Chain A
């Protein structure tokens, strides 16, 4: 199945992926209204070490620890995509405790969130990939 992959050597560290992600998942149609002067909670984040930067988002693992560990039974995998049921999640962050990539994080309401490939939001395809100016994040079969 298609997943989001990172080409570290192309990453400029511009953080556009974070903004595009936060906008795509905001439910709003105006990017300014969605992001200006607000704390943002993107589901992809840039890590930096010296000159190296790269994006990190959910790997949709074959054997996801978050799914097995969720104390509320709120995380499951459907058609290869790991999804969090926001209604069931109580924000205990056990998924944050176990995610080996640091890719699950608390969202604005305290409930956990992570990349779900933008398949159910207005973007319809990963917004981080769509907006990446240097092909440092791609959405493809590998």
Chain B
């Protein structure tokens, strides 16, 4: 019998519980959760504000999930880890572990901005409680200023647009969704968002705030009733760092999700793992990654064998009915072939280099996109493949008949 402790209660923790239980049905699992909710689907907080889901449907697992998995859920904040002794301190109490998983997630990053303390109605947008707090402040005529045109800022904008007077989004970057889109694709998405009524101030930042006013670097003044801070997120690494684990932008993990501390694993947005499309370590703060890392950590904690070596950045995100999928890494013009096609209502760009698809972005009809994602994840050699056909349509036609026979005629 072992004793497992998981700090954090998001999707990585759920994956970890399921990973442990795939190999060990008996031993005790304790989850220490700072948020006072059972595991919920964090990316749905904007869908909730938009009325496309309910608090109940946001439960990531059924309500008997913890009981069924013989897991104790404690609502408390973990304060300290002693890896040598195998002890976690929370709310002044202590619990012991044989194996520990850190699934501490990330937190909104708020840069120092002059006068921010004068703004009464300000919110971040990471958690269910953030979303509920923001909802209370929304009024039909509210003017909302969102700092940050990334995934969080824009999903928030979409979620509240129909419930407020106006939404303005500013970002230091020269384009929207700069972490996942290149300039050409960002332009398409920005125009779409503008057509729905969102206003943008790009390559611009707030220099100072008064109670209801932001003075922008460009000289413009934006008046607002509600301020949403969605500049970015930072991995929650402090606990791990204080315990002596190696930490960079995230907690450093190996392919088995082990940290540099014995018996301590980490998974999800708090980690920095290997991005196989870029060949470098990165914080891959995406939900699929969180689940898979959590599961992998759990299997290893329970004495099984699991590793992840092919993680890549990938995103599927839609705004007002226009979908966008993207994956892998992009490169600058001239370093390889960039295929571009204007498709109905959108755009498709494929990045091809050394007979490999390294990255892609599709805005519009994303049917079959998973095949492109697969080619990146598996680093499929495209020499000898009808690349023209591949560029036009993502289908299984590019594979050899015998490969396809295994895919569609075999157990996979």
Contacts and interface: CB of A to CB of B under 8 A. Distances in A.
Contacts of B366: 93, 96-97
Interface in A64-97: 65, 68-69, 71-73, 87-88, 90-97
A70 B325 CA distance: 14
Nearest to A52: B397
A79 B405 CA distance: 24
Given A52-B397, A90-B53, A99 B370 contact: yes
Contacts of B389: 49
A6 interface: yes
A101 B295 contact: no
A65 B288 contact: yes
Contacts of B317: 92
B367 A97 contact: no
B312 to A, nearest CB: 10
Contact of A69 (B287, B321, B369): B287
B41 interface: yes
Interface in A122-137: none
Given A93-B325, A97-B325, A97-B369, A3 B411 contact: yes
Interface string B46-60: 010000110001111
A102 interface: yes
A40 B314 CA distance: 29
B318 A87 contact: no
Interface string B364-389: 00111111011000000000001001
Contacts of A8: 401, 404-405, 408-409
B1 interface: no
B144 interface: no
A65 B43 CA distance: 18
Interface string B399-412: 00100110111111
B409 A5 contact: yes
Interface string B1-42: 000000000000001000000000000000000000000010
Contact of A102 (B47, B53, B321, B395): B395
B318 A93 contact: yes
Interface string A1-19: 0010111100000000000
A27 interface: no
B367 A102 contact: yes
Contacts of A102: 367-371, 394-396
Contact of B44 (A47, A61, A90, A93): A90
- Chain A interface residue bracket vs B: 35 or more
Contacts of A99: 370
B53 A93 contact: no
Interface in A85-123: 87-88, 90-102, 104-106, 110
A91 B320 CA distance: 11
Contacts of B315: 97
Nearest to A67: B291
A101 B404 CA distance: 10
Given A69-B291, A93-B318, A47 B396 contact: yes
A142 B411 contact: yes
B287 A6 contact: no
B395 A68 contact: no
A64 to B, nearest CB: 10
Interface in A36-73: 47-49, 52, 54-56, 59, 61-62, 65, 68-69, 71-73
A62 B408 contact: no
A71 B288 CA distance: 7
A56 B323 CA distance: 22
A3 to B, nearest CB: 7
B77 to A, nearest CB: 25
A54 B373 contact: no
A48 B397 CA distance: 7
Contacts of A71: 41, 43-44, 287-288
B402 to A, nearest CB: 10
B292 A94 contact: no
Contacts of B316: 92-94, 96-97
A54 B404 contact: yes
A60 B189 CA distance: 34
A94 B288 contact: yes
Given A6-B409, A104-B370, A72 B41 contact: yes
15 contacts: A3-B411, A8-B405, A47-B396, A61-B412, A62-B412, A68-B288, A68-B292, A71-B41, A72-B53, A73-B59, A73-B60, A96-B368, A100-B373, A102-B371, A105-B367
